[in-house]
């Protein structure tokens, strides 16, 4: 695997990727021996792998059960829900329509300095929804269809009354471009996409186990982009936007690896 990217991340995070990619589609059950074999192939030693599985169990995402002398793990309802949502987000990301009518969704939420925790939670939630910051209390998004989601977040944090939600247009392409420049670091995000493609644009793996490792690394690295990319409409992005190329690369590369990787994982049950 000298030319292939090594999976990066902690044991628990990598095994969560394995659960979503290989266990969920196969019925939600995997033998402990299979998970340990997968861990070993990913460079995770047995002690750390067992600890990671136990922690996932403590979080009620998986549960252990005995079948004769053997032990296996089963996804819980909560674990299945989490992974299904993650799968939808990962594989649907970048594939939605990017048409835009020129209308912005703004939220002004001047939360008091004494409510730092609330401010932090709101900031994280707005970033997750794709909002960019124009100031400490003013955030903006081109996704007006997310107004209901925004209002739900404000309500859950108890800051609806002190917040103001507006829709607005600048009427100027130059002003729209300036908003993007102020609210998001598009060049830095483009660099991250280019780095992703460069890291994973390797030759075809020569063995099934290498295909498994390459797929885990690919999906694990890709998982971060839905959380950091606001999915700006194409009209607000550079003509040669690296994100568009990265989306196509991800799906093409995944298609090249998937069957051999799944075959290898299923063979560990034998």
Instruction: Scan for tokens 């939808």, then name that residue.
Output: 88
Percent of the chain scoring above 90 in pLDDT: 79
Residues 88 and 12 in one domain: yes
- Indicate whether 12 and 141 sit together in one domain: no
Task: Tell me the pLDDT band of 112, cut-offs 50, 70 and 90.
Answer: confident
Same domain, 34 and 80: yes
Q: For residues 133 and 208, state if they share a domain.
A: no
- Does 31 score more than 50 pLDDT? yes
Same domain for 109 and 131, yes or no, is: yes
State whether 254 and 214 are in the same domain.
yes
Considering the domain architecture, whether residues 189 and 250 belong to the same structural domain is answered as yes
Among 113, 141, 168, residue at a domain's last position:
168
Q: Looking at the predicted structure, is the pLDDT value of residue 196 above 80?
A: yes
Once rounded to an integer, what is the mean pLDDT over residues 216-220? 95
Range of the domain at 26: 1-98+185-270
Distance CA 28, CA 262 (A): 14
Pair (94, 111) in one structural domain:
no
- Averaged over 188-214, what is the pLDDT? 94
Give the count of domains, the chain: 2
Do 9 and 94 have their domain in common?
Answer: yes
208-216 mean pLDDT: 95
Residue 173 lies in a domain: no
Share the mean pLDDT of the chain. Answer: 92
Assigned domain for 63 exists: yes
Half-sphere exposure of 259 (CA within 13 A, CB side): 4
176 within a domain of the structure (yes/no): no
The band of 1, judged by pLDDT with boundaries at 50, 70 and 90, is very low
Model pLDDT, residue 6 = 60
For residue range 241-258, what is the model confidence (pLDDT) as tens digits?
999 999 999 999 999 999
Instruction: Determine contact, residues 106/183, Cβ cutoff 8 Å.
Output: no
Pick from 109-113, 149-153, 167-171: least confident: 109-113
Question: Helix (H, G, I), strand (E, B), or coil: what is residue 203?
Answer: coil
Identify whether 45 is part of a domain. Answer: yes
- Tell me if 177 is assigned to some domain: no
pLDDT of residue 2: 45
Domain of residue 123, CATH code:
3.30.70.240
Position 9 scores a pLDDT of 67
Q: How far is Cα 63 from Cα 83, in angstroms, rounded to an integer?
A: 15
37-90, pLDDT tens digit by residue? 999 999 999 999 999 999 999 999 999 999 988 899 999 999 999 999 989 888
The verdict on residue 218 lying in a domain is yes
Q: Give the domain CATH number at 247.
A: 1.10.10.10
Residue 95: pLDDT above 80?
A: no
For residues 124 and 200, membership in a common domain is answered with no
The fraction of the chain above a pLDDT of 70, given in percent, is 96
In this structure, are 158 and 231 located in the same domain?
A: no
Residues 82 and 112 in one domain: no
Residue 66 and residue 209: Cα distance in Å, rounded? 27
């Amino acid at each position: 695997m000298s030319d292939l990217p090594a999976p990066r991340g902690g044991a628990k995070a990598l095994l969560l990727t394995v659960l979503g990619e290989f266990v969920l589609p196969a019925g939600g059950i995997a033998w402990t021996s299979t998970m340990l074999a997968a861990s070993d192939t990913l460079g995770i030693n047995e002690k750390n792998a067992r600890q990671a599985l136990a922690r996932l169990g403590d979080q009620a995402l998986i549960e252990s059960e005995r079948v004769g002398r053997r032990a296996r793990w089963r996804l819980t309802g909560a674990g299945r829900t989490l992974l299904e949502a993650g799968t939808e987000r990962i594989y649907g990301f970048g594939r939605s329509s990017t048409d835009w009518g020129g209308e912005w969704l703004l939220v002004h939420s001047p939360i008091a300095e004494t409510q730092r925790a609330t401010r932090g939670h709101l900031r994280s939630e707005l970033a997750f929804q794709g909002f960019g910051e124009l100031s400490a209390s003013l955030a903006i998004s081109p996704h007006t269809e997310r107004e209901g989601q925004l209002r739900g977040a404000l309500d859950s944090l108890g800051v609806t009354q002190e917040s103001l939600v507006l829709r607005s247009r600048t009427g100027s392409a130059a002003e729209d471009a300036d908003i993007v420049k102020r609210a998001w670091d598009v060049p830095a995000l483009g660099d991250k996409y280019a780095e992703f493609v460069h890291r994973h644009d390797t030759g075809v793996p020569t063995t099934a186990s290498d295909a498994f490792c390459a797929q885990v690394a690919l999906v694990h690295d890709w998982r971060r982009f839905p959380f950091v990319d606001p999915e700006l409409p194409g009209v607000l992005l550079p003509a040669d936007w690296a994100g568009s190329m990265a989306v196509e690369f991800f799906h093409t590369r995944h298609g090249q690896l998937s069957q051999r990787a799944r075959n290898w994982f299923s063979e560990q049950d034998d």
